[in-house]
Amino acid sequence: MSVAFQDSQSPSLRRIAANLFILTAVMLVGVQVVAQERARIVHVFVALADNAHQGIVPVPAALGNGDDPGRNLYWGAAYGVRTYFRKSTEWGEVGVIEHPSAPVLERVVFFNASHNVYLIADAYQGREIKETIADFFQAAAGLEKEKTIRVKAANGKWFEISAQPDLAVYVGHDGLMDFAMERNFQGETGGERQAIILACASKAYFGPDLKSTGAQPILWTTGLMAPEAYTLKDALDGWMARESPEEIRKRAAGAYAKYQKIGLNAALRLFSAGW
């Protein structure tokens, strides 16, 4: 036996059906908005540690070979950017590009699905530290040389992501202790570009050049430090969660205190947020 409902007999059913239709439409629109939300981009510029070409305190030869990213202190070693993020369960490696440009020995791209964030990490030849810093300032100014970056995924397919970062990061020796930049990096108007600089006393040495880029420093340093990836990882956790620069500073200090086995107050004094 079949039962047919007449419209005139069931106004409540019509209201329920209409409400369900509206709810479904809203949900579909919401899904579409989420799907189309622009991924945020972090670009990390790593100057490989180089005993021969940088004014660093010498480290073991393998760690301080600026031509060997695989074992370098700031890249392939345990707390180097590539290795540390590869081991993270929150970041998935989506592509590796060998020699994307003359000074860059390796590029690795990671993706954080929870926050829709791509991390592009470039390992620059140690002797090219000046160009590394120049390219960092270019990115901070919104003047990135590349407009898009092509990445070959594990399935063999190529895809493109924006090369214009929301957050530009420098990791390595503070080369501005040894040389000055010969040009001004005047930032483009618009946008909300931000910067992190993990190098010794970076606030004092990078400050004047960063000012002209228009980028806002959310984390940099006031003294000597080891620019290892655990600090960056915890800082990015706060940045992805849209925390304030001060909250990000506290995260970074907590990680640094833990791994360097120093007091939290000492680590807090080492890091600074904002101008």
Cα distance between residue 1 and residue 120, in whole Å: 64
Same-domain status, 108 and 232? yes
Give this prediction's pTM.
Answer: 0.85
Q: Which pLDDT does position 20 carry in this prediction?
A: 36
- Note whether residue 61 is domain-resident: yes
Number of domains making up the chain: 2
- Note whether residue 97 is domain-resident: yes
Q: Which pLDDT does position 54 carry in this prediction?
A: 96
- Note whether residue 101 is domain-resident: yes
Same-domain status, 56 and 102? yes
- Note whether residue 1 is domain-resident: no
Q: What is the DSSP letter of 81?
A: H
Q: Which pLDDT does position 152 carry in this prediction?
A: 81
Q: Which pLDDT does position 19 carry in this prediction?
A: 37
Q: Which pLDDT does position 191 carry in this prediction?
A: 67
- Note whether residue 3 is domain-resident: no
pLDDT averaged per 10 residues in sequence order, the chain, 275 residues: 39 40 34 60 98 94 97 98 97 94 96 97 98 97 86 84 94 97 83 93 97 96 98 98 98 98 98 96
Same-domain status, 33 and 143? no
Q: Which pLDDT does position 177 carry in this prediction?
A: 97
**Secondary structure E strands in the chain:** 40-47, 92-98, 104-112, 117-124, 148-152, 158-162, 167-171, 194-198, 216-221, 271-272
- Note whether residue 177 is domain-resident: yes
Same-domain status, 88 and 221? yes
Q: Give the chain's radius of gyration (CA, Å).
A: 23
Same-domain status, 123 and 23? no
Domain containing 22: what range? 8-37
Same-domain status, 178 and 123? yes
Q: Crossing angle, helix 229-240 and helix 245-260, to 10 degrees? A: 150
Q: Which pLDDT does position 190 carry in this prediction?
A: 62
Same-domain status, 31 and 130? no
Q: Which pLDDT does position 154 carry in this prediction?
A: 75
Same-domain status, 198 and 77? yes
Same-domain status, 15 and 77? no
Same-domain status, 135 and 70? yes
Cβ-contact 125, 48 below 8 angstroms:
yes
Same-domain status, 59 and 130? yes
Same-domain status, 25 and 147? no
